[in-house]
Amino acid sequence: MIEDQNDILDSRIKLHDKHRFEIKLDIDLDASAKSSYEVETYFFVPRALNVGPHNYNKEKFYNSSQRYIRFRTPKMSIGKVCDPALKTSPLNRVRAELGRVLSGAQDNTLTDTICNELRLLGCIIRGEIRDYVKVFVEGLATYDAAQPAARRQLFVGEGLENFLGDLKNLETALASLKAEISDPAVPVKIRETAAFFDEYVSLILEEYLTSLLEALRNNPGARERFEDVEKGVMAIVTAQSRYRQAMKYPSVLVPGSSNEVIIYRRGVLKKFISSVLYLKAEFSEWEGLTQVFFGLAAGTAMFFTVMVTFFVGRRYAVNSMPFLMAVVISYIFKDRIKDWLKLLFSKSLTRWISDRKIDIRDPAGGGGRIGLLKEAFTFLTDRDLPPDIARLRRLDNITSVDEEGKPERVFKYKKEIILYPDIIIKSHERRRDLNDIMRFNIRELIAQADDAAVDYPYVDPVSGDVRVAQCARVYHINLVLKYTYYDRDEQVTIHYERIRIVVNKDGIVRLEEVRVA
């Protein structure tokens, strides 16, 4: 994963799977009436992959990409989640609202509130356990019990013990909550949501604590020093599968089987729990102004045909061969003129208008619009490429003739997001900052790539025999990203990133960062 941070937008680019990479932006909102930013992504694709306007259009690009706008998971430590004095804790809010339900209150809104708080609690628990385990695994990789207690080692030591204590408190608190929710007076929807939440937390504990256990055992010094922690973590991990089996949850690992159920179930539960953070996107295909210009293209082409027909009709009879040939030729040119003008407008208009507009709505805040996303895609010629982007692309060229040895086609994807923080803050106390996530599938770009390996004959310098070595064949798809942020005073902040995606016919091999400063 490649991370970069600045004061406003934190970006992370990582490999999602064999064919997809993900660009994730963390957006910190201020309290101004409007906040906006733009992300321009320039794709430099080798011409050897035969990708161009003739076979890769807007529709294919948008079909290859997925985009999500969601609230960022609120930061709340596990210890604070279990603190009865913290009013913003989802655990405490579930208990408070549950008390009203058990007192006889019958309100669908109350039921929805409890279900949403349970899902938010699941998101917070997952985020905290994931982040803590990541820090501990990194710390244990360099932990040396024989060395004096440096600050990092001291943190790992005290942190592990405190973390285990917080996990035990969390288990106790959740067991108590589960007992309250099991009351028959609690609506079925709440009990079903609680069951999903319970199964999800069990899977999270098993998954992340297994990684922690492995890191502890990979460091003999740490394993000896934290023997009690290892036993405690081991007890929690091994209890999860037995617990899910006792509860008759589907997500039980069965050694020797395909175990497709546990992976499928985990995905379903994650989507269900995480949905409390996701915002609704309402797509509006093609802006009206775009259609006006495309209509002008069609009208201009038709005007040409009518003028040719009118001009030829004054000189030749309608049933004559010259008239017939002129009409056929004008019809052929009509289609070419229309397509050429549409292509011209598509390239030129993306500077001012977009292909599509997407209203960003908040389901939890009454479905009101809290933002707007605009997207545009176009191919660029060398002449159209902005100087700052061209400079960054040439950054790692060794010689001046490098470009001739690696000719590329360039296409640009631009998105502009306008947000209304004041509306978000009115509806939400904990969910404010946002994640903007885009996943891109390269499958269409590598459809015409050569085989991933090629035989290379060589002479063994020792024996003199001719041998054959198998060499990997890769292509470099380069990305230059330009982030532009406009604050409340219309001050502009610009930030760049440069990424090299090494691919072959089978998919993505690796991601590499190219330093831009």
Q: What is the 3-state secondary structure (H, E, C) of 443-471?
A: CCCCCCCCCCEEEEEEECCCCCCEEEEEE
- Which amino acid is it at 27? I
Sign, Cα dihedral of 350, 356, 362, 368: positive
Query: What is the model's pTM?
Result: 0.76
pLDDT score, position 21: 92
* Most distant pair of Cα atoms in the chain: their distance: 103
Give φ, ψ of 118 to 5 degrees.
Answer: -65, -40
CB 410 within 8 A of CB 385: yes
pLDDT on residue 238 = 94
Q: Helices 151-181 and 108-141 meet at what angle, rounded to 10? A: 150
SS (H, E, C) 468-484: EEEEECCEEEEEEEEEE
CB count within 10 Å of CB 17 equals 11
Is the Cα dihedral 448, 58, 408, 472 positive or negative?
A: negative
- The secondary structure of 392-442 as a DSSP string is HHGGG-SSTTHHHHS-EEEEEEEEEEEE-HHHHHHH-SS--SEEEEEEEE-
Helix (H, G, I), strand (E, B) or coil at 30: coil
CB 125 within 8 A of CB 89: no
Residue with tokens 């080798």: 46
Quickly list H helices, 283-396.
288-313, 321-349, 387-393
**What would the two tokens of residue 75 be?**
């930061």
> How far is residue 345's CA from residue 347's CA, in Å, rounded to a whole number?
5
Q: Classify burial at 239, counting beta carbons within 10 Å of its beta carbon; exposed 0-12, middle 13-18, buried 19 or more.
A: middle
Residue 243 confidence (pLDDT): 94
Please report the pLDDT score of residue 516 as a whole number.
76
User: 3-state class of 19 per DSSP?
Assistant: coil
The per-residue pLDDT for 484 is 86
Output the tens digit of pLDDT for each of the chain's 517 residues: 554 444 445 668 888 889 999 988 887 766 665 677 888 999 999 999 999 988 998 889 999 998 888 888 888 899 999 999 998 899 999 999 998 888 887 777 889 999 999 999 999 999 999 999 998 888 888 877 556 555 555 567 678 888 999 999 999 999 999 999 999 989 999 999 999 999 999 999 999 999 999 998 998 888 888 888 899 999 999 999 999 999 999 998 888 888 888 999 999 999 999 999 888 877 665 554 555 555 665 667 676 676 767 676 677 676 677 767 776 776 666 666 656 655 555 555 545 567 778 888 887 766 778 788 888 898 988 888 999 998 888 877 655 545 555 788 999 999 888 888 777 777 676 776 788 888 999 999 999 999 999 998 989 898 989 999 999 999 999 999 998 887 666 678 888 889 999 999 999 999 988 887 6
Q: Cα–Cα distance between 171 and 193 in angstroms, integer?
A: 18
Q: Edge-to-edge strand order for the sheet containing 434-441?
A: 2-5, 9-15, 20-27, 434-441, 65-71
Total residue count of the chain as it appears in this document? 517
pLDDT at 515: 82
Burial class of residue 385 in the structure, from the number of CB atoms within 10 Å of its CB (0-12 exposed, 13-18 middle, 19+ buried): middle
